[in-house]
Amino acid sequence: MIYISKRFERLIEKLKKIQNDVSSEVSEIINYFLKYFTLDYEKILWILRLENENKKEEIYKVADIVTRTLTTDFITLKGIIEFTNYCNKSCNYCGIRVQNNCIKRYRIPEEEILKIAKNGVKMGLTTIILQGGEDEYFSDETLERIIYKIHHEYKTSVSLSIGERSKEAYKRFKEAGASKVLLKHETINKKIFNEIHPDKDYEYRIELLDYLVYLGYITGSGNIIGLPGQTEKDIADDIIFMRDHRIKMIGMGPFISTHNTPLEGYPDGSADLTLNAYAATRLTIPYALMPATTALGTLKRDYQFKALRSGCNVIMVNITPDKYRKNYNIYDEKIKVEFYETAERILEEGLKLSPYTYRRILEAKRNGYSYERI
């Protein structure tokens, strides 16, 4: 006997309901998805290349139904602390690369990181993301201590976005209480990867990702959309790679051309292609946690919210104090995704917030937002 879950039954019902109103191509995609619960390379490519506005709206709607039926019907807010902009790497696209002498470098002291995290949890965040350049100043022991405190004392989940630490280090961070890691593979096209990462090892990055999955982390990866020389076929390969490597969180953002980097002056990635990529990814990796990225919001602010109706179910709000944040310019004109403003906008858009976040926001509103705003 084949067991069909209630969620899946609801999904079939909802998709069948809209199937008569969509184009034959999108109807075919629905049939394929309901049969295989993923998409094949050709269908991913078809979505990535979509330009027809009506068909785009149809496929975004399908992706939205899948998101809301199979994952959560609310948007999860995660709080990011950019704790250091020192980096020993030379990624050609990145504004905090080691060779960039035009930015002011900072490290947030340990006690201050903890204070920011604690305040974030009090405000209503359920995940704290620690992100930084690759900075050995923060030893494994220090990070272990920070992770332990945030997870065990503030009772919240800790996600790491700190690049290529040793396997041993990631094992220790897991034991200390980190449950998620985001390590973007950036592009699965080896030639492009090597061209833009003079000092990164393609094979090691993938090996490390597989190891993180093996360790039991909710493992995140992702790609940059619109890198010089990249085609839609490469992006389809990225999506298939993430599915086949059991990636559960997906960070996909457009390339943003940045001052004082070797890729300064190259055209930015396309916001439309990024939306198409979200929809294609949702239908290929249906249960993924997928943020509507700050990079997309930086290119087109409205698209970050449109993305929440096109397959995305997460948004990262920035809780780095402004005196540091203004120097975390991994790309030019990076916007601040502010906690309260974003939460209000999500509600205005008719979307929901997770119950804990929503409760804390209502409480803050009743108190005239008298909490320390971050």
Q: Which pair of tokens denotes residue 267?
A: 């055209």
255 binds ligand SAM (CB under 6 A): yes
Closer residue to ligand SAM (CB): 131 or 189? 131
CA angle in degrees (0–180, nearest 5) for 15-21-25: 80
DSSP annotation of 307: G
* Site mask for ligand SAM (CB under 6 A), range 323-352, x = bound: -------xx---------------------
* Stretch 213-252 residues interacting with ligand SAM (CB under 6 A): 224
Closer residue to ligand SAM (CB): 183 or 346? 183
186 binds ligand SAM (CB under 6 A): yes
258 binds ligand SAM (CB under 6 A): yes
C-alpha distances out from residue 197 to 93, 94, 146, 187, Å: 9, 10, 29, 11
Single out the segment in contact with ligand SAM by CB under 6 A; choices: 1-9, 139-147, 180-188, 207-215.
180-188
**Residue 216 CB partners (closer than 8 Å, separation 6+):** 174
* Stretch 132-151 residues interacting with ligand SAM (CB under 6 A): 133-134
180 binds ligand SAM (CB under 6 A): no
291 binds ligand SAM (CB under 6 A): no
Residue of 163, 177, 297, 311 that binds ligand SAM (CB under 6 A)? 163
CB of 368 to ligand SAM, least distance (A): 36
Single out the segment in contact with ligand SAM by CB under 6 A; choices: 51-59, 106-114, 128-136, 302-310.
128-136
CB of 162 to ligand SAM, least distance (A): 6
CB of 61 to ligand SAM, least distance (A): 28
159 binds ligand SAM (CB under 6 A): no
DSSP annotation of 268: P
131 binds ligand SAM (CB under 6 A): yes
* Stretch 27-86 residues interacting with ligand SAM (CB under 6 A): none
**What is residue 8's three-state secondary structure?**
helix
Residue of 63, 123, 146, 183 that binds ligand SAM (CB under 6 A)? 183
CB 334 within 8 A of CB 298: yes
Closer residue to ligand SAM (CB): 33 or 106? 106
CB of 307 to ligand SAM, least distance (A): 15
Strand 224-225 with 127-132, pairing? unpaired
Closer residue to ligand SAM (CB): 59 or 181? 181
CB 337 within 8 A of CB 316: yes
Residue of 279, 295, 314, 374 that binds ligand SAM (CB under 6 A)? 295
Q: Which residues pair with 242 in a beta bridge?
A: none
Q: Exposed (0-12), middle (13-18) or buried (19+): which is 211, by Cβ within 10 Å?
A: middle
Single out the segment in contact with ligand SAM by CB under 6 A; choices: 183-191, 234-242, 274-282, 362-370.
183-191
Single out the segment in contact with ligand SAM by CB under 6 A; choices: 56-64, 188-196, 253-261, 364-372.
253-261
CB 247 within 8 A of CB 220: yes
Q: E strand or H helix at 249, and its extent?
A: strand 249-250
Closer residue to ligand SAM (CB): 29 or 183? 183
Quote the CA–CA distance of 81 and 319 in Å, as a whole number.
6
Query: Residues in contact with ligand SAM, total (CB under 6 A)?
Result: 19
Quote the CA–CA distance of 280 and 17 in Å, as a whole number.
20
For 142-180, the DSSP string reads HHHHHHHIIIIIS--EEEEE-----HHHHHHHHHHTEEE
Quote the CA–CA distance of 241 and 188 in Å, as a whole number.
7
248 phi/psi in degrees, rounded to 5: -110, -15
Q: Which pair of tokens denotes residue 278?
A: 């979200």
Question: Which residues of this chain interact with ligand SAM, rule CB under 6 A?
Answer: 93-94, 131, 133-134, 161-163, 183-184, 186, 224, 253, 255-256, 258, 295, 330-331
